[in-house]
Amino acid sequence: MKSFILLAALLLTSVGIQAQDLNAEMTALGNAWKAAYERGDAAALAAVYAERVELVNDDGSVSTATRAEVEADWAKTFAAQTGTIEFADDLVSTLLSDGKANTKGNFTQTMTDKETGESTTFKGRYEHQAVKVDGRWLLSRMKVTPQ
């Protein structure tokens, strides 16, 4: 019985450590995204996306984009606006059975029009998935909902 309890405790400790590691890795991915976004660097921002990304639309349908399309879209955005983003301290990461990581959390984004100086703030919730490619986590599915 003692062996079973010890084994169970070791397994639970291992799962806890793996969850902490995954949260740290997803936080690092989010920080890389944030740094590129706030610099207005479309190429660096696109580099944290997988070659093909699923985008969950407002109506729940899913469209796909290539990394090049993601970069072009961000370049267009950054030509007209600057932005900042703050992620809430509520990140939850889960390793899925297919090896992808699912992350959920909240954020506040402010975009400022370069021409007018007018700013808009958006508060939302994200639920993203990342896939590991050549030892690096890359965003593979994006879902954002307003709060």
* Amino acid sitting at position 43: A
Is there a contact between 73 and 49 (Cβ–Cβ < 8 Å)?
no
**pLDDT one digit per residue (tens) for the chain, 147 residues:** 555 443 443 333 334 435 579 999 999 999 999 999 999 999 999 999 999 999 999 999 999 999 999 999 999 999 999 999 999 999 999 999 999 999 999 999 999 999 999 999 999 999 999 999 999 999 999 999 999
Question: Bridge-partner residues for 94, per DSSP?
Answer: 102
pTM of the predicted model, to two decimals? 0.85
- Stretch (H or E) spanning 136: strand 136-142
What is the CA angle 64-121-60, rounded to 5?
30
Instruction: Tally the residues of the chain.
Output: 147
Contacts 24+ apart (CB under 8 A), 133-140: 133/50, 137/25, 137/26, 137/29, 137/101, 138/29, 138/48, 138/49, 138/50, 139/29, 139/33, 139/48, 139/49, 139/50, 139/53, 140/49, 140/50, 140/52, 140/53, 140/54, 140/100
DSSP characters over 63-126: EEEEHHHHHHHHHHHHHHEEEEEEE-S--EEEE-TTS-EEEEEEEEEEEEETTT--EEEEEEEE
